[in-house]
Amino acid sequence: MYSNTSTVLLYKRLLFVLLASGFIGWLFDIFWPAIAISSIALLIWHYHHLVQLAHWLWQSKSINPPHASGTWGRIYDGLFHVLNKQRKKQKQLRHRIRQFRDGAEALPDAAVVLSDDFIIEWSNKKAQNLLGIVCPGDVGQRIDNLIRNPEFTRVLYQQAFEAPFHIDSPLKEDTTLELRIMTYGVDQYLLVARDVSKLNRLETMRRDFVANVSHELKTPLTVMRGYIEMIQAPGNNFDEHWLTVFATIEGQVTRMDRLVEQLLILSKVENNATYDETYRVNLSDLVTNIVKECHWLNQDKQHKITSDIAPDIYISGIETELKSACTNLISNAIAYTPAQGDIQVSLEQVKQSMGMGVKFTVKDNGSGIKPEHVNRITERFYRIDKSRSRNTGGSGLGLSIVKHVLQHHNAELVINSQWGVGSEFSIIFSSTSVIQ
Ligand code: ADP
């Protein structure tokens, strides 16, 4: 290592050479010429090593520095030591990059690393099969020049990277890809794509199956209802026992009918995933009419239903679906609030960061919901108290329908409930769905 001692040694050596040559020059009476000759010799020696160093740095292929003694030897040793350190670091880095690439190649998904202006920097082999992106051939190209898809371009330009999105494969027909873009490293993005065609097909099969079974069940149920009505017609003299049996059968048929009806609505809402055709819906009128209809539903329990509905609120959406969602919330309040309870329905404009949104609320002072159930009640067939729900004619599908409808309408369901105190269900429409 070059240190202060080496500097002292360097000066000592210089002094020694000058003194020795001065002494010899003094002996032969050529003091100054001897000093000059030794200085020139020293200079030539240093220049020789400088030339050697420049040659080694720029032209030599050898990694070992030239051999030298004295000060130059120590300089070469220092350089060799620094080079070695850097070589070790490079090796470690290469190893890490190889590990990352092996990991990325082992992924079952396509992975593409993009710069902050969406230029391709690297991609794995799977990206070639799924997206047609070849590395290193396509490195340096903009990703949207290679994936030409309106949805992809929209997501890229709006930088809407929070959720995954689907596009048709640019290479194969009947193949759907799920894409996700996330920030990665410093000023970079990672695009991950996977083939979800199989999952989509299974999901479609499931939906079709439910829709078909529900549809097929409708005819036998109608036939059964017809026969029961015939049996129960006045003039047929059955004894009390049989009348009870028929009433039970009728009750169960009605329950099944409602379940099938709800299943059909749910599959219709689920299958209606593309919302190209939305209409201007007068939500104020829609809610007013539902409240009127619900007064009729409420005859048995005599709840006090009050409403505060702001006029002229228009939403872009599908009227039948919005009606189904709002009706479900009000009929749940009726079903889960004891007789003579209070139910308040309101529709109002609310301030949001992007403009004015709309809030539809149904508040009751019924049984309320325990906190552990709140997150699960929108799941299909989830009922807190099955026997109670059965008595109220509940199928466990109502809130599932609401959830699906809201997904299509840029809206969210907010549930505030306190066990034993009551519940408040609100639908909050984003300002983008509101027609001003
Ligand atoms: P259901 O057809 O059984 O009413 P939903 O999906 O509409 O199915 O509701 C799921 C569950 O959420 C219900 O079984 C009920 O326990 C609970 N629930 C819904 N609305 C209310 C409410 N207003 N008050 C109390 N519990 C409710």
Q: What is the SS3 string spanning 140-173?
A: CCEHHHHCCCHHHHHHHHHCCCCCCEEEECCCCC
Q: Is 394 in the pocket of ligand 1 (CB under 6 A)?
A: yes
Q: Is 395 in the pocket of ligand 1 (CB under 6 A)?
A: yes
The answer to whether 194 touches 204, Cβ cutoff 8 Å, is no
Atom of ligand 1 nearest to the CA of 425: 23
Give 197 Cα–ligand 1 centroid separation in angstroms.
Answer: 34
Distance CA 290, CA 360 (A): 12
142, amino acid identity: R
Q: Is 364 in the pocket of ligand 1 (CB under 6 A)?
A: yes
pLDDT of 388 reads 63
Q: Kindly give, in sequence order, each residue whose CB lies less than 8 Å from that of residue 116, ignoring residues fewer than 6 positions away.
A: 187, 188, 189
pLDDT of 8 reads 83
The answer to whether 161 touches 155, Cβ cutoff 8 Å, is yes
The answer to whether 262 touches 254, Cβ cutoff 8 Å, is no
Most confident of 184-188, 281-285, 385-389, 405-409: 281-285
Q: Is 423 in the pocket of ligand 1 (CB under 6 A)?
A: yes
Backbone Cα Rg of the chain: 41
Give 164 Cα–ligand 1 centroid separation in angstroms.
Answer: 31
Q: Is 332 in the pocket of ligand 1 (CB under 6 A)?
A: yes
> What does pTM read for this prediction?
0.67
The pick from 303, 336, 344 for probing ligand 1's pocket by mutation, whose C-beta has the most ligand atoms within 8 angstroms, reads: 336
Confidence of residue 217 (pLDDT cuts 50, 70, 90): very high
Q: Is 352 in the pocket of ligand 1 (CB under 6 A)?
A: no
What does the DSSP 8-state code read for residue 119? Answer: B
Q: Which two tokens stand for residue 2?
A: 């070059």
Q: Which two tokens stand for residue 60?
A: 């030599």
Q: Which two tokens stand for residue 141?
A: 């190209």
Q: Is 333 in the pocket of ligand 1 (CB under 6 A)?
A: yes
Residues 330-389 have pLDDT tens digits of: 999 999 999 999 999 999 999 988 889 999 999 999 989 999 999 999 998 888 877 666
